[in-house]
Structure 1
Amino acid sequence: MGRCLKWTGLTLSLLTILSDPGFGASIIEGPQNQTVLVGSIARFNCTVSEGWNVLIWLFHGDPKLTVISNGTFYGSPPFSQKGHASGSTFTSELMIADVQLTDSGQVRCSIQNDQNNMYAYLSVQVNGSLSIKDNNFSVKENQTIEIVCEALGWAPAPYIFWMENNMSISNSNYITSQSPGSNGLYNGESTLRLTPMTSVNVTCLAAIVALPRPQSTTVAVIVYQHEKSGNDDARIRTIILAVVLPIVAILLVILIILLIVCCKRKKESDYQKEVKKNIAETKTSNRNLETITRSGNENYGYNPEEMYDTIQMRGIVPVSPSIYGSNQDAYLKPPSEVLYNRYNGEALPSRPTTYPVHPRKIRNVTHV
């Protein structure tokens, strides 16, 4: 019965509009675009000038609420309105309660003047859930970890970003992906790679236009010093020995080879020096001997055969050629032996059997 009365009132209002359309009035300010969260109330304002009779709110092109100039209105939930008069103007505030994702669309304010229709758009968004998959992070110093943040059931897909101790983290340190879910909703996932030096608080945030501030979730990352155990020390020593010993052995072999090569080269060098020294000494000795031989004590005109013949002809006893010291006398053969050998037809030697006596060393001998 009540519904019939409302529709009867709306019909009468429309008849009134048709009989008195109010062409002298105009819309001063129309509704503005609104973005709201699902389940909240959407509000739109329409201000008209003096002289209006009927104001109609249309939703998705269909009339949903009618306001009469006497202050009464006709509509059904979730649509309602509040009127505010100020001087010669009137403002109607349309309220849409418990909006849903399917309510997104056009909202129009009309005073039955096609030139003065004003419209706006309603955008309904869904604030989904946000969580970090693992809330227990205890890591070693300088250890790289991955933190995964998951956003489920959002519309539209949220913008996900990270903060460390309330400081923004560069987007190069994390990767975000999005995928459509059910009922027109979206899911998102962001993976952060972090290498903390000290304990930090890491926050994952998701933002959409309808949220006054981003939704966030925080996890504490605890960094502890790695305590080396006895097994770790032994393992480290084993690794060091396995790496160092072959290198030391190779270096020792190289050092031994270098020492052998150096010693060999040194010996060859010493030998060459000794040979050169001996050659030089030999040349020096020969040069000295030649100098001594040609020192001026030689009698180049001396001929021992001529001297021997002269001595025989003169009856001088020949002296046996020999080299002797200053205290030695030349050995003299007896004259009779010399003559005997001559007259018996023996050939005298053409040269002395020994080195000839220097003329200066021939002493006085007596004649036979």
Structure 2
Amino acid sequence: MDPILMWKTLPKVSWLMVLLAALFHFSSGISQVTKTVQGMAKLSCNYNISVDELSRVRIYWQKENKMVLSVISGRVQVWSQYQNRTIPEITNNLSLVILALRLSDRGTYTCVVQKTEKGSFRVEHLTSVMLSIKADFPTPSITDFEHPSPDLRRITCSTSGGFPKPYLFWLENGEEVKAVNTTVYQDPETELYTVYSNLDFNVTSNHSFVCLVKYGDLSVSQIFNWEKPKEDPPDDQLWKRKILIPVCVGITVILGTCFICILRMRMQRRNEEGVEMRTTARI
């Protein structure tokens, strides 16, 4: 019978008994590995063998009783969920390398090493690794593009690509402000979340809002500042400005014109006096 098929068809009770016995004899605690989404994780089996020993050793990596990868008689088999992104590193503590990490990859992985003894295989080594996957939300972005009424503006805060489920709050002066609406969406394939929220505020006063997004023990935030528009001057001052500015401009133009005329007259007079002096000298 094919050894892989025999491993897969082993009764659950027998398999659990093997695991419990192996854990009792070989386990030294579960190590922890934390990585980010789309990153790479290397899980160590903490057991070394030479390439020559491969023909006499069976190596199994599984995640919570579901097969991930096996190496039997030097032949590597990868199960469908991990195809094209999972490889073994035989010469590096029999490590399991997982690329392009997904949230669904988080969990406990177990490495089992079996060796032949008197014609049959027995458990030689067993260890477990807890893999945690982080998906941090980027700093939220706040956009200002809607005007529900002349005295109201609407801003939108949004961020995406994080996990676990986020909770978004609007704060002003340390106190929560009620949003118009808040929407949280989880992508069914990647399990990552998107959150966005709208807030209306009065433009007749200054504001400093904080958009705070909490997820698990972490949080990200963004600040939005608003300064009320400068008020137009009173009507009487506006009327004075409308009159005084043109008058001042007119006076400036007149004075400039007069100054230019005076300069021209003086230059003409000097020219005439020069002509008379030259005529007298000739006589």
Q: TM-score range by the shorter chain?
A: 0.3 to 0.5
User: If you compute each CA radius of gyration, which structure gives the higher value, 1 or 2?
Assistant: 1
Normalised by the size of structure 2, how large is the TM-score?
0.45
**Structure with greater contact order relative to length (CA < 8 Å, sep ≥ 6):** 2
Higher strand share: 2
